[in-house]
Structure formats: C-alpha cells, structure tokens
Amino acid sequence: MNTLFAQLTLADIHQDVARNIVSLRQSQELFNDLSKNAAECLLAQNVEDEVKPPPYRSRMPIIDRPFEDSEWFNAIAWPFKHWQGSRFSDGTFGVWYGSDSVETTVYESAYHWYNGLLKDAGFDTQAVVVERKVYLVTCQAALLDFRKTTDKHEGLLHATDYSFCHSVGARIHREGHPGLVTQSVRRPAGENFAIFNSGVLSKPRHNCHLTYRLEGERIVVEKEGEGVWIGVDLVGFD
C-alpha cells in the first residue's frame, strides 16, 4: 500500500463530471396509492417531511431555493448522507462517484443495476425498465491520480473483488484527501472520479434523462428526445 501511494501524483481537476442516478421523469404523488382520503395523504406527507434530512442552504434568493436544494441534494449530497458499500468504501463513510462522460456513466450504472439489483431480485430474465437522470457537476480539486498505477496494482480494477480498493479508500478517507481519479472498470476508455469531500463539488445541472430496458442479453439505453442511444451487451457482466 505504501508503495502505491508513493507512486501517486496529483491531478488538478477543473471540469464537469457526469453523475447518473435513478430518477422518476415526472413527479408522482406516491401517497395516493396508500389512501384516497385527503387528510390521510396530508398526514403521510407531513410525516415524510419530518424525517427528511435538512437540505443544503445557499445564498440564492429564497424564491429559487426549492429547485436548487433538490438538485444539490440529488446530484451531490445523497451519498454523503446515506453511506453504502462501494468500490472505495466498506460502507462506514460516503463516497460520491462520477465519470468523465455520460457514456461512461451508462456502462458503470448498467452493470450495477443488472448485477446489484435485477439478478439479486430474480428479475434478470424479465423485461424490466428503469428511468435515470444524469447531472453535470463541477469538480475543482487536486485529486490523487491512479490512472498510471492500475497496471501494477490489479486490485484497483478488479471486476468484483473490492477488498484492495476498500483499503485504498479507507486510507484516503483517514488522511483527508478530497478524492481520486482512475480508469473506469466497465468502460476502459473512460475515467471515474471518487470524491470523499462534497466541498469540491458544485453547480449541479440537469443534463439528460435516460431509460434502461432489459431486453434479452442486452440493456438498451434510450436518451430522451433521441430514441435508442446505446446497447450494453450483458456478456461478461458477471
């Protein structure tokens, strides 16, 4: 581990990074399915509001804040509020992931959607559809650059075994580095960013809506307004 970190340099990052998340394309009144009584729906909404985490606050005029709060929380804050195990975290701290392009986010998210949700739920042989939203987020930070070290440390890009990456992530978290940039595992031509400090992220903007459809041995990806855009082959996804 010490040898790896001794080889690292810093990458001065000042660019937009793509963040791909599950999202409803149109807002829905989710409590309508629970009750047709208006008073009961209002009570459920009030209870939900009580347990929501406090939103980000900015200097933007208050009339515009509800929209900015939602964008900021969905695009940036969520993984720092809801810790989950991932490539560079064992689940004891939050890590935000983004990619150099929307295309790279598609291959990364399609893999985890298929293997982390559909197969576990037994839906991997059925026609399933999910909607997703892509944000562009500005990243300004000096990130640890792992791109030239992956050939000497195979554990950094292992398809399924995250144990080495967990050790790397734990050290980055412990030492207070803002994050790292590395090659994408699911799309080798792309690059991924793992951010450990939300303070280096800003200006979230909506980029596009995507629809993923599981069709046999492929995940067909449609971009809103353009139709079918990418086909992700499931061969080798295990």
Determine the average pLDDT of the residues in 159-178: 98
Q: What is the pLDDT of residue 68?
A: 53
Q: Distance (Å, rounded) from C-alpha 12 to C-alpha 25?
A: 35
- Domain contains 238: no
Residue 169: pLDDT band with limits 50, 70, 90: very high
- Domain contains 75: yes
Measured from the Cβ of residue 179, the count of other Cβ atoms closer than 10 Å reads 24
Range of the domain at 188: 2-233
Q: What is the pLDDT of residues 55-91, one digit of tens each?
A: 444 454 544 444 457 788 999 999 999 999 999 999 9
Q: What is the pLDDT of residues 8-32, one digit of tens each?
A: 999 999 999 999 999 876 544 555 5
Q: What is the pLDDT of residues 181-229, one digit of tens each?
A: 999 999 999 999 999 999 999 999 999 999 999 998 899 999 999 999 9
pLDDT exceeds 70 at position 137: yes
- Domain contains 140: yes
- Domain contains 57: yes
- Domain contains 53: yes
| Distances 229 to 37, 111, 115, 118, 184 between C-alpha atoms, Å | 43, 17, 21, 22, 20
What total of structural domains would you count in the chain?
1
- Domain contains 164: yes
Nearest in space to 64 (alpha carbons), one of 76, 72, 53: 72
- Domain contains 160: yes
- Domain contains 20: yes
The model carries a pTM of 0.81
